[in-house]
Structure 1
Amino acid sequence: MSEQEGEREGHGPAPQPPQDPGLRLRLDGELERIGTQLRALADAKDRLQGLLNAALAISSELDLPAVLRRIVTTAMDLVGARYGALGVLHESGEYLSEFITAGLSEEERAALSGVPFPHGRGVLGLLINDPEPLRVENIPAHPSSAGFPPGHPPMRTLLGVAISVRGEIYGDLYLSERHDGRPFDREDEDIVVALAGAAGIAIENARLFGHVRESAERFQRLLLPTLPDLSPFEAATVYRPAARPNQLGGDWYDAMVLPDDTVGVAIGDVAGHDLDAAAAMARIHSMLRALHYDRRTPPSQVLVQLDRTLQATADIPVTTVCLARVEPHETGWVLRWSTAGHFPPLLITPDLETAYLDAEPGVPLGVSTGIERPDHTRELPAGSLLLFFTDGLVEHHARSIDEGLTALAGLAATHAERPLKEFVRVLADHHPSDGQDDMALLALRIPAGTRRPEPDPPGDPAV
């Protein structure tokens, strides 16, 4: 049987039905539609993830200025905007009292130098009067446009969204000029509106944190003494809270004139950063002040008695202290001190040489009452400086303590000739630590003479 006959008998391949061109087109169209939906879903997922990341980013800040700037830059990233700003409403709600910008180049900022920030006129003011989302494709052509000041970069498109805090309008978020040149669309508006909701919560958290921080710092400062007149000595102090959410700490300083005409100095640090640490600091500080003033004994004996009394009457955390007396000497002044696990004082001589008065540091308070504590002495050159400080001034998580101490000594020598109040502020402002702990410092300038000035005799004032 021939090949053709076999095919006629049904032993060859089955005949194929003719293709339907309309069906092929419909299938292609459906596949394209599904692909478009999948891409849209992927984009939506990416935007949602970006929004979640953005909300986490702005809520991680606690400092209000940092929160406001993070809101602007995060919104710019979400919609691909070149410029962004956040205008904070005045308490009257009638105009902007603050204007935070991002995206301007150095040249653009320089061109706007001296130009007042916008207060809410023109298109920007539309959100003040009507806090609904605003999209503008051509700012200069808008009926409400008031024009741009000289030097302002050209901007055509705008997306504006109000930010509410506890139901009240806090400010307005403005974005301009997408990087792809297209105007802002509804998706941009939706995602920035969602971000504004998270921004309102972050702003409220930052404001509450600011109130707590201010109250905690005020409470801490109320526990610290105001130094009396120490003439002929000059003294200056600084206390700075930690740059952490819980601001209460256990650092303190003190100085006073003792009954035997010497000057007593104390600085200490209670372990912990909470209300308990602050309360313990207040107890230890007041008890030490009373013992130091009442007992005319070397500093070591005062610390021994303090440790015994505290462990017998209170449950205190581990505490470090440096206690010192500056006593008159036949050739000037001498420092007598004892430490309970605390950093040694730093001596800066008139010729700007520095030396840490390293000696047996002793153990902190609250560890053991059966340990003897040594005293140490050092003659003090006339006109020299003594610096007492807590560890928050030098500790840094990425550097060793020795590096921090070396940096502090160099900083102190550089600025030792400044007025004393300015000197301690410079040290606190430019400290080598990471700022994660509170810090206290007390500087004492040693006079040239060896006697305190005598008080004026009683009687009629001189004519």
Structure 2
Amino acid sequence: MRQLLAAVLAISSELDLEVVLRRIIESAAALTDARYGALGVIGEDGMLARFLPVGVDQATIDAIGPFPEGHGILGLLIREPHPLRLHDLHDHPDSYGFPAHHPPMSAFLGVPIRVRDTVFGNLYLTDKRGGGDFTPEDEEMVTALAGAAGVAVENARLYDRLRAATEGFQRSLLPTVARLEDVELEARYQPATEVPRIGGDWYDLIRLPDGVPCLMLGDVMGHGGEAATVMSRISNIMRVVAHDEQTPPSRILRRLDKVLHDLHGGPMATVIVARLEPAASGRVLHWSSAGHPPPLVVAPGTRAHHLDGEPGPPLGVDPDAARRDHRLRLPAGGTVVLHTDGLVEARDHSIDEGMRNAAAIVERHATAPLADLCDALIRSPGRPLRDDVALLAARVTT
């Protein structure tokens, strides 16, 4: 019973469907001491749409060939979704011969997994490690586990739908990146993968009345619908303020902070504003930050790095705080990336290490298409994202 409760807890603690399915199989095999296990997901056509095995290495899987579609004993369980225990698979009239390279199997236990009143799939277990047949107690435990598995599968499906709806809503609040003649632009938004959250990360770009492109990116404190509402409010007000003030970026931030303080009580957010001003050759990056991570830049023949510069306090701290401007010349081929802190934050390393990792990726992709550089940055963590990530990249082309 303790093992069963531990197994139920293991599969119920996950929300990602792929992880849930894998844990169901592994838990069932561990409970019964089965050498091999698999989970077959039934498709709309009544055949197996998915087949996930455990206990067989990848080389053997490749040698066996295509996964089963739902014939033989597997088809019997689809047609008659009831627990089935066999002393030897080969003795059953519905058992077909195994394909070449398939491991020999004899003792068998199959149990259906139901999600509400629908059979989602079947659990298959073969060959107890100690030898012998699967027992009635094994059948009872796996049947109980399958009941909990049905709930876990339904929760994971609901989670997937919620995450998709959340991401769709978040993306609908973000603008389409404009096209400019002498500046290449790319933007990305990647929601947190650990839980489905609406966040406050955003990016924007407008061409100011003086013809200068203005890049804006920010991150509202907190998560949920309130953070998304505040994010939308800040980005809309910021467009108006930036269009009216134009320059310098520090004045744009200071006026934005005062307007938000007067109208909305001073919501907390980090924001960075950057102008790409024309120069004799290339562009001048003219930027100011309200508590936000600094720009990440790379130019031909140079190392990628985050810029130094006083970030100033976040919005909502002190609307009268002095803010500083910073400048850097970007030659043709130079790239600047603005990003939120979700790109560089992780449980297993410091923000400084995360910033170094991001710089290394930008340096490796300094001459690659800008879209490839942005995709590499988004993929770089190789782990679930704790927080949303927004990034806006610009490359000077002439």
Is the TM value for this pair above 0.5? yes
1:315, distance to aligned residue in structure 2 (A): 3.9
- Match runs of 1:37-436 below 5 Å: 48-92=1-45, 94-112=46-64, 115-315=65-265, 317-431=267-381, 435-436=385-386
C-alpha deviation, 1:434, in angstroms: 5.9
Asked if structure 2 preserves the Cα contact closer than 8 Å seen for 1:134 and 1:161, the reply is yes
For residue 242 of structure 1, what is the amino acid of its counterpart? A
Return closer, same or farther for 1:208/1:343 CA change in 2, 3 Å cut-off: same
Label 1:235 to 1:421 Cα distance change in 2 as closer, same or farther (>3 A).
same
When normalised by structure 2's length, the TM-score is 0.97
Percent of matched pairs sharing the same residue: 47
- What secondary structure, in the 3-state scheme, does the structure 2 residue paired with 1:180 have? coil
Post-superposition offset of 1:245: 1.8
Q: Post-superposition shift, 1:396?
A: 1.4
Distance in 1 between the 2:68 and 2:240 partners? 58
Secondary structure (helix, strand or coil) at the match of 1:290 reads: helix
Distance 1:111 1:433 in 2: 30
1: CA distance, partners of 2:212 / 2:348 = 40
Letter in 1 for 2:78: I
Pairwise CA distance, 1:244: 2.2
Offset from partner CA, 1:113-146 (integer Å, 9 cap, x none): xx11111100111111111101111112210012
Structure 1 Cα separation of the partners of residues 310 and 125 of structure 2: 62
Structure 2 residue ranges without an equivalent (≥5): none
Q: CA shift at 1:432, angstroms?
A: 7.5
Alpha-carbon distance in 1 for matches of 2:384, 2:32: 35
State the distance in 1 between where 2:133 and 2:60 align.
22
Q: For 1:162 and 1:332, locate their aligned partners in 2 and report how far apart those are by CA, in whole Å.
A: 65
Partners of 1:433 and 1:129 lie apart in 2 by: 40
Structure 1 residue 151: Cα displacement: 1.2
Letter in structure 2 aligned against 1:76: A
> How far does residue 109 in structure 1 lie from its aligned partner after superposition?
2.5
Contact 1:220–1:248 (8 Å) recurs in 2: yes
State the alpha-carbon separation in 2 of the partners of residues 58 and 433 from structure 1: 20
Query: Is the 8 Å Cα contact of residues 395 and 433 (structure 1) preserved in structure 2?
Result: no
Confirm or deny: 8 A CA contact 1:349 1:385 kept in the other structure.
yes
How far is the alpha carbon of 1:345 from its aligned partner? 0.3
1:275 deviates by: 1.0
Q: C-alpha distance in 2, partners of 1:193/1:186?
A: 10
Aligned AA (1:322): I
Distance 1:87 1:316 in 2: 54
SS of equivalent residue, structure 1 residue 56: helix
CA distance in 2, matches of 1:433, 1:171: 29
Task: Normalising by structure 1, report the TM-score.
Answer: 0.84
Counterparts of 1:137 and 1:317, CA distance in 2 = 68
Tell me how far apart the structure 2 counterparts of residues 293 and 85 of structure 1 sit (CA, whole Å). 60
Q: In structure 1, what is the equivalent of residue 397 of structure 2?
A: 447
Higher relative contact order (Cα pairs below 8 Å, separated by 6+ residues): 2
Question: Is the CA contact 1:63–1:210 (under 8 Å) kept in the aligned structure 2?
Answer: yes
Local SS of the residue matching 2:381: coil
SS in 1 for 2:89: coil
- Offset from partner CA, 1:359-385 (integer Å, 9 cap, x none): 011100011111111111111111111
How far residue 317 of structure 1 moved from its aligned partner, in angstroms, is: 3.7
Q: How many residues align?
A: 398
Q: Distance in 1 between matches of 2:109 and 2:73?
A: 11
Write out the 4+ residue segments of structure 1 that deviate beyond 4 Å after TM superposition. none
Between the aligned partners of 1:412 and 1:333, the Cα distance in structure 2 is 19
Deviations 1:31-55 (A, max 9, x none): xxxxxxxxxxxxxxxxx11111111
SS of aligned partner of 1:140? helix
Give 2:309's aligned amino acid: A
Give secondary structure in 1 for the equivalent of 2:211: coil
Equivalent pair of 2:299/2:366 in contact (CA under 8 Å): no
Shift in Å at residue 316 of structure 1? 5.1
SS at match of 2:156: helix
Distance 1:255 1:406, change over 3 A: same
Structure 2 distance, partners of 1:311, 1:350, is: 42
- Cα RMSD of the aligned pairs, angstroms, is 1.3
Kept in 1: contact 2:257–2:266 (CA 8 A): no
